[in-house]
Amino acid sequence: MYRDFITVGILLKKLKIKNKTKIKTFNDLVPDNWIYIQEKDVKMGRIQIFNNWSPYMVKDDQNVWIGLEYFCNEGDELWNMDDHKFADFAINELSDIDIINKDDVIDWVIIRMPKTYPAYFGTYDRFSIIREFTDHFENLFLVGRNGMHRYNNMDHSMLTAMTAVENIRQGVTSKDNLWMINAEEDYHEE
């Protein structure tokens, strides 16, 4: 099972929240890449500030490009919401939690991504059965978040792919080194 995902990209003149840290940022933008939203009265799960990933992600560096992340299931109310209605909904949520002024919105885009996050419920406790079955295929190397049904970050996902390529080049058929990537406890939530 997977959780699906919707990103609402919003281009803004500015954010209402300000950098109150000692970290120097371009245009004094808050220094975070991600802001996790804990307010119970909104459905938004996280905000990405794309300017902080790279200033080249925004054509006009005086503007702010953010992504609002919504966790959902394909076919549910959020997934089926009309794009214009969803954009208004998301902008209202941002305004309600005092992150933006609605008048600062320049543009928006909505991207729906099915099967984004592996779900660790349902029959996940029997995942080892699937792994043991697929590991028997010498020429099948499961990689990345969806291939391994594991919530790897992008670096770990790319590393599983690079390791699989190296295994193929070296004639290694064991998949053990792939499954050891991101197995360190430091990366796991409690």
Domain end position, chosen among 85, 118, 151: 118
pTM: 0.75
Which CATH number does the domain housing residue 74 bear?
3.90.660.20
The answer to whether residues 23 and 97 belong to one domain is: yes
Helix (H) or strand (E) holding 159: helix 154-170
What's phi and psi for 51, nearest 5 deg? -55, -35
No. of H helices and E strands in the chain?
A: 7, 5
Decide: 16 and 100 in contact? Cβ < 8 Å. yes
What's phi and psi for 142, nearest 5 deg? -80, 130
Number of domains the chain is built from:
2
User: 44-49: long-range contacts (C-beta < 8 A, 24 or more apart)?
Assistant: 44/68, 44/69, 44/70, 44/90, 44/93, 44/94, 45/69, 45/70, 45/71, 47/94, 47/99, 48/7, 49/15
The answer to whether residues 20 and 72 belong to one domain is: yes
Residue ranges of the chain with pLDDT lower than 70? Answer: 184-190
The answer to whether residues 149 and 77 belong to one domain is: no
pLDDT at 186: 55
Domain end position, chosen among 118, 150, 171: 118
The answer to whether residues 131 and 71 belong to one domain is: no
The answer to whether residues 30 and 109 belong to one domain is: yes
The answer to whether residues 85 and 133 belong to one domain is: no
- DSSP character string of 4-26: EEEEEEEEES--SS---SS---G
pLDDT at 188: 46
Decide: 79 and 6 in contact? Cβ < 8 Å. yes
The answer to whether residues 18 and 56 belong to one domain is: yes
Helix (H) or strand (E) holding 34: strand 34-36
The answer to whether residues 173 and 109 belong to one domain is: no
- Residue 128 domain boundaries: 124-187
The answer to whether residues 99 and 72 belong to one domain is: yes
The answer to whether residues 111 and 140 belong to one domain is: no
The answer to whether residues 96 and 20 belong to one domain is: yes
The answer to whether residues 182 and 97 belong to one domain is: no
pLDDT at 127: 86
pLDDT at 28: 87
Domain end position, chosen among 96, 118, 140: 118
pLDDT at 74: 94
pLDDT digit string, tens, across residues 82-112: 999 999 999 999 999 999 999 999 999 999 9
